[in-house]
Structures are given as C-alpha cells and as structure tokens.
Structure 1
Amino acid sequence: MPLPLEGIKIIEWGVLLQAPYAASLLGEWGAEIIKIEPLVGEMVRGYHTFGGVSQELKGGRNLGFEHNNPSKRGIALNLKTEQARQVVYKLVDKADVFMHNQLEETAIELGMDYETLSRYNPKLIYSVANGLGLKGPDKDGPSYDTMALARAGNMMAVGEPGTPPQVALGAQADIMGATLLAYGTCLALIARDRFGIGQKVDGSLFGGAMHLLSYALLTAHLVGKEIPRQDRRKVVNPLYNHYICADGKWIIIGGLQIDRFWPNFCKIVGIEALRDDPRFQNWQGDPDKTEEIVRILDEKFATKPREEWMSLLKSIRMAYAPVQTVSEVLTDPQALENEYIVPIDHPVLGRILTSKCPVHLSKTPARNKSAAPELGEHTEEVLLELGYDWDEILKLKEENAI
C-alpha cells in the first residue's frame, strides 16, 4: 500500500532543528526529502555537546544531526555560486515543497526566496520556519528554542510559586514548531490539489510555544487571571497531585471526580478513619484541610514502592502514571507496544531505538526512520537524476559549486 505522501518531493534547506525536523516528519509518511547543506556541512554537525551531554557518536556521526535528519537524501551545494543555484532551480521545477528556516535576508541574498522560486514553479509550496514570526517589530531578530519558551510564557507556567523561571529541556518549542510547520505544509498541499495554487507557509518557534499554552492564554484573557504555578503541598485537589513513594520514585494520581473516588481511595491508602472523620467531611475548597490531606498522603505514599501503589490504584480504576525519567520511557512497554519508540538498523550505529510518529493510520502507516545522510552523500546521484552528465558534474566540482 502506498504511503500517504508518496510521490511528494520536498527540497529542504534547513539548519538546526525546526525545518529539518518538519521535513523528516513528512518523510516518515513517504515524502522524498532532499536536504541541501553547505560544502562544510550544516552547523549542527559540529555541535560537540547539548545540555552538557556529548553529541559525538560512533563513526563520526552526530546525535543532533541524526535526530533532525532521518529519511533524507543529502546534497552539498555552495549556494554563493550561480551554478549551485541553478541546481536548486532545477530541483524546484520538479518539487512540491521547498522548506527552510534560514533568515529571510539570507534567502533573498542567495535567490532562495519565495518570489524567486515561485517563478520556477508557480504551484510550489514554500514552507518557512522562523523564530518570532514574519511580522512585528522583532520579525528579523534571531531566536532559539528557549527564547521562544520564555517569551510565550512557558517558563513561568511551570515550577512552584516563588521559584525562578524553569527551562523545559529537549527543544520543545522546536519540536512543536516543526510539527505545526509539517501540518501547515500538508494543508497547503491539499489546497494546491483542490484549487491549483502554490503558496507560502510560515510557522515559528514563538507561535509553537504559544500553541502549547493556548488554554492558559485563553484563561488569562477571558477570566482575567492566570492559572497559578502550583505548590504541590497546597493543591486544590489532593487526589490530583504527585507523591514520592518508598523506593524514591514519584507517582502522579488523577482523581478528578473526587466524590466518585474518595471512598475507595481512602480504603486502598488505609485512611478510612480520615474518610469518616467529621473534621474532613467537607474538605473540598478548604485550603487548610486540603493541605493537611496532602501531608497525610505524603506519609502514606512513602510506605510502599511505586509499583505497589500503581497496582492498588489500578484496582479502583483511578487514573495514575509513573513520573518517569527520560531513560525509563525508553523501556516503557506502553511506548514500545504502540510503536512510539521502534528499533531500527543503522548502518553505522547498529541496532538503535528511535522515535516514530505517534499517529497511526490503519491502512497506510508511517514507515520507520532511516539513517541521516552523510555530508553530500547523494550529490552525484541527484545531479544525474536532473540530467547532468559526468563531465558537467566534474566541472561543478572544479567551480566549487558542489
């Protein structure tokens, strides 16, 4: 069965994460991705550490580049030369999408802007990712993942009251920005097929970070009050809170329907006396009483290991989840059974685990990722497909275009 995006060709001229990862998401659904890099390689190939963790892998591979660029063919071009730009124009002529996250001034300078490329292909989908959006007083300013999270309010939406702003690790604004750019690109492809038009698609880190907080933003607007940062000792509902267990591991419980779960919850936790204590008959909405219940539950949860608590909570069909480390997620049977994480055979790294698109189509499922390309690995192959002969390819090399 063909994949949903089989036959779609995407030319990606991206750096770091947002645009490259957006293209790779579409590659999982069958799109052909050709990645353009400068002759010295995309900058992330040279990153030695990220968050204090080494990015250097076996065989000279780079962790960041592998994450951002699977399922692609790679070509190396010197876009400062007219000859290399002509290669891109020939690619664009037969492409469906051109995607990048370069600065607009750079795209214009090198002839990679929408106005130029759309002359070669009027039905081209031109998808551009940026930091803060294409309009506004800071539209031309540089931005990175953490800056977007900071400006969108995310850093002040997590952590406990009175603590400094909290940084969410793992390039979350980049990942969300990439996901939304892929989403917009698919919509533009549908519009092209329905209405016969090409168009420009833009997404940003800032917009993606705001999207993550859409509920909180609407609350602040309509209610006139922000959802406060939570002190776990002073939560409104002690049955919707996280607790540390006897083995030092954390668990979060989700008893949103307090009246439904309170009697059975008291029984499995061993606080039936609290359930029947007249002082706690009407504890909901009383901050002093809820704080005391949290204190009691802290003591109770500290008496049993997490696995035992999960078994007890499961017996009363109350929602719960282990608060896991990133490493623990890699062996979570729920993640493995649903193929959110899958094994692949990498030509250099061997058998490894990698993420897979967490959306399933029953008859046209996504394919597993393949290894990211080496620098310029497919340059000659792609040029031959475009109609260049070996003499012309040699001349391009002599002219420092490839």
Structure 2
Amino acid sequence: MQALTDVTVADFTQLMAGGWSTQKLGDMGADVIKIERPTGDVQREMSYRGTLLDGTGIGYLTMNRNKRSVALDLKTDEGHRAATKIVEAADVLVHNYRPGVMERLGLSYDDVTEFNPEIVYVAISGYGSSGPYADRPGQDLIYQAMTGLTSYTGRAGEPPTPAGTVVIDEHTATLAAMHTVQALYHRERTGDGQKVETNLLNAAVDLQCNELTYSMNVGEDLDRGEKTHGHPYLYPPYGIYQTDDGHVAIGMAPLETIADTFELDSLAEYDGQRQLFEHRDEIHDVIESYTETRPTDDVVDELVAADVQASAVRYPTEVPENPQVQHNDMILELDHPNGGTFKTTGIPVDMSSSEPAVARSPPGLGADTRDVLGDCGYSDADIDRLEANDVIRVAGDSRE
C-alpha cells in the first residue's frame, strides 16, 4: 500500500506550480482526477522552443502521470454538477486559479465545505488570496525579479540574470504537495479538513532563506563577482572553471587542498575567509590558469582523488548517460498518450515502505471521463447525452 492509497484528489490545476504538485500526490498513490475543459489543459498544446513531442506539449507529459483525465465544461450547469459530484467524493481539492475564479464557479472553500466538510482544500496563487498584489498576474520570472534572485545571479557588470529553470514554480509545487500531506495527516488524527494556501511569492522568499537572512541582518545586498563563482557570498574554490575541453565545477574545499592538488604555491598568500572572498576573482584566475590547460576528466579525477567535490559541467542531453542517475532510476520511459513512448524524470525518493510509484502514464484528453462519471453514479445513457451536448469530452472524441 502506498501512503496515499484511497485518497482521491480533484485536480483543477494546470502549469507547473499546480500540475506538478498533484503529480507528486499521484506518485504517492492518490487517485488524481484531472478536471480539464473540453479543449484540454493549455499545456497539451504549449511548445518548448517551438517543439511538441508527437503532437503533445512536453510540459503536459512532464507533469501529468498518475492522473485520470475528465474533460467537462464547468461553465454549463450540467458540467458544474458533474464537477461537484467529483469534489463531493474527494479527499483533496487542488486549484491554481487566480483569486476569485473558484468563487465565480461556485467551488470556493466555503461552497465546497457545505457538502464536503472534511475536504483538504489547497489553493495555489501568485501572490496570495488578499493583499495589494492579489489581483496581479504573475509568472516565475516575475517572482525571481521581485524577491532579488535575478539581482545576484550571473556575473558583475552583466544584467540581472534569471535562473535556468523555473525554480519558483518548482518550489511552489513541492511546498503544496508537502503541506497537502501534512493536512491529510492532521485530518487522520483529528477528523478535520482545512484550507491550505500557498503562493509563488511566498515560495520565492522561502527558497532564498539564506540569502535574504544575510541581507536583512548584515544590511547589504549580494554583489556578484566578475568570474563564474557559484554563489555571491561564497568564496573560492567554489565555482566553475574553464578546462582544455569544457568546464568543471568545484565545490567547497580548503584552498590549501586545491593548492596542493594543482601545485599552485601562489594560493598560499590568501588566508582567512574574508580575504578569500575579497580576492575571489584573482583566486579564480589562479585556479583556472591550471584547469584550462587540462582535460576536464583529468581535473575531476585529480580533485575526487583529493576528496574534493567536483564534476564536469554537463548538458541536459548528457544526463541520461550519467551512471549514478541510471543507478538511481531517475530516468523513466512512459507511454505517450498519442502512441509510442517518451522519457521523463523519475521519482527522487526511495522509501522502505509505501514506495512512490508510476501506475499511469499521462492520460489522453477525456480518457477517463466515462469511468469517473460512472463512479459518480452517471449511467451510460447520461454520459452519452452529456457528450452529445458538448458538456463533456470522452476518449476518442474527434471534435476540432
């Protein structure tokens, strides 16, 4: 038995902050019912770099395994009634609509607790459900900029630099999933459901606990170095260095270890953490004067032999070949909803009991509408009528 076996999630989410959070619940064993409009989740047709994978957005494939798809029109009375029946039988509802949308749909927390008082109701928004920014639109980049992350990423003299992945959405999704499980545990102990709210702005602040605590207490911003240092308040050797055929990342280590390993006697003149930080650019150049003459693999081997954290800088296409990634089963091959298979990332946690697992590949649009509505008491004739009236969409529907 998995941890969330027998837990049903009514999933009104799309995009990463919502969609990835409910996938995590599905990985834990929850029955996640993805409620989509008849035209489908926007990510089904959203390209990455102008590319779809066999006609489907890669973002959809990434964030929707272990779910069942029900396609219905919430703006119709019958579609709303069907959604209400799904929510009535659910343990959890998750949505990431902007504030006010679920209220207009008649599915606010107050509405839902009228017929399902023990529901765990999870609301994910951009800035929170109230406050001066509550009605603003937002996206990952906006929160990175608003909370300082872009100001200290990159090199001195260059423009503010965003992270290479949507770190705020990713952290928000993880926080939402974690606190959903917390609320379920609370309900198991007390019998009480509750509302859980999180937002991307809060997640952006939480993600930078070290950096913001430093700046708030020391009273200074984080200045970037001119070199590829790994972090604006850490000091060498932490950073990325050019090699003869690529780049190498070096982690935290005593500078004397680097000096001994690379036979760089000039590093001995730098002593103490403050001096290391103040002279970080020139220290970087001294270390790089050695690494840039050597093949990447040789540099990594030398450092690992000296018990220093080091890795070649790899590209995404190289990650599946990493022997430790393979050993950890972090690359999965799943069925594509349009036929064939695709590769995606695996589950990052091992557990001795209640192991997370992938039981379902991402569903085609409306693939489970008939089964889910049947579970809610609809007859085949009822479902056929709803389909004919364009209230729902079922698998194999070829409408434009």
1:345-384 matches, cutoff 5 A: 345-346=335-336, 348=338, 350-368=340-358, 370-384=360-374
| Counterpart in the other structure of 2:53 | 57
1:269 aligned residue: 262
The answer on 1:175 being equivalent to 2:167 is no
Q: Are the structure 2 counterparts of residues 315 and 195 from structure 1 closer, same or farther at C-alpha, using a change threshold of 3 Å?
A: same
How many Å separate the matches in 1 of 2:239 and 2:325?
23
1:238 aligns with 2:236: yes
Give distance in 2, aligned partners of 1:34 and 1:188: 19
In the alignment, what sits opposite 2:180? 185
Matched residue type, 1:228: D
386-395 or 319-328, which moves further after superposition?
319-328
Alignment of 1:236-385 (within 5 A): 237-247=235-245, 249-258=246-255, 262=256, 264-271=257-264, 273-274=265-266, 280=269, 282=271, 285-286=274-275, 291-346=281-336, 348=338, 350-368=340-358, 370-385=360-375
Q: Is the 8 A contact 1:356 1:369 kept in 2?
A: no
| Matched letter for residue 127 of structure 1 | V
Q: CA deviation at 1:327?
A: 2.1
When residues 23 and 55 of structure 1 are mapped into structure 2, their CA distance, relative to the original with a 3 A threshold, is farther
| Aligned-pair CA distance for 1:13 | 0.9
Shift of 1:291: 4.4
Q: Which whole-Å deviations, capped at 9, do the CAs of 1:191-245 have from their partners, x for residues lacking one?
A: 1111111111111111122221111111111221233223327987432232110
Q: 1:292 to 1:161 in 2, by over 3 A?
A: closer
Provide TM-score, normalisation by structure 1.
0.90
Indicate the SS of the match to 1:189.
Answer: helix
The structure 2 residue matched to 1:203, chosen from 184, 195, 198, is 198
Q: Deviations over 1:249-281 (max 9, x none)?
A: 2112124334xxx1x43333132x4367xxx27
Judge conservation of contact 1:126–1:201 (CA < 8 Å) in 2.
Answer: yes
Query: Secondary structure of 2:196's partner?
Result: strand
Q: 1-side partners of 2:323 and 2:169: how far apart? A: 27
Deviation at 1:311, TM superposition (A): 0.7
Q: Return closer, same or farther for 1:61/1:361 CA change in 2, 3 Å cut-off.
A: same
- TM superposition shift of 1:145: 1.4
Is contact 2:250–2:310 with CA below 8 Å preserved after alignment? yes
**Under a length normalisation based on structure 2, what TM-score does the superposition of the two structures give?**
0.90
Distance 2:359 2:154 in 1: 35
| Residues 27 and 71, structure 1, Cα contact 8 Å, conserved in 2 | yes
Question: Is the Cα contact below 8 Å between 2:251 and 2:309 reproduced in 1?
Answer: yes
Report the Cα distance in structure 2 between the residues aligned to 1:290 and 1:182, rounded to whole angstroms: 39
Q: Secondary structure at the match of 2:332?
A: strand
Per-residue deviation, 1:34: 0.4
Identity among equivalent positions (%) equals 28
The residue type paired with residue 147 of structure 1 is: I
Contact 2:156 2:226 in 1 (8 A): yes
**Which one of 120, 145, 156 corresponds to residue 150 of structure 1?**
145
Instruction: Indicate the larger mover: 162-171 or 311-320.
Output: 162-171
SS of the residue 1:215 aligns to: helix
Cα separation, 1, equivalents of 2:339 and 2:227:
42
SS of 1:180's equivalent in the other structure is helix
User: Does structure 1 residue 4 correspond to structure 2 residue 25?
Assistant: no
Question: How far did 1:286 drift?
Answer: 4.2
Query: Over residues 128-173 of structure 1, what are the superposed CA-to-partner deviations in whole Å (9 max), with x where a residue is unaligned?
Result: 1111112210112211111121112111121112211112233221
Cα pair distance change 1:369/1:341, threshold 3 Å: farther
Task: Work out whether residues 18 and 177 of structure 1, in 8 Å CA contact, stay in contact via their aligned partners in 2.
Answer: yes
Q: Is residue 387 of structure 1 aligned with residue 377 of structure 2? A: yes
Please say if residues 130 and 205 of structure 1, whose CA atoms lie closer than 8 Å, have aligned partners that are also in contact.
Answer: yes
SS in 2 for 1:400: coil
- Structure 1 residues 79 and 291: CA distance shift in structure 2, 3 A: closer
CA contact (8 A) 2:122 2:180 kept: yes
The equivalent residue for 2:17 is 18
Equivalent pairs counted in the alignment come to 388
Q: Mind listing any 5+ residue stretches in structure 2 that lack a counterpart?
A: 393-400
Aligned twin of 1:219: 214
Q: Distance in 2 between matches of 1:283 and 1:196?
A: 56
Trace 1:3-152 onto structure 2 (pairs within 5 A): 3-47=2-46, 49-50=47-48, 53-58=49-54, 60-152=55-147
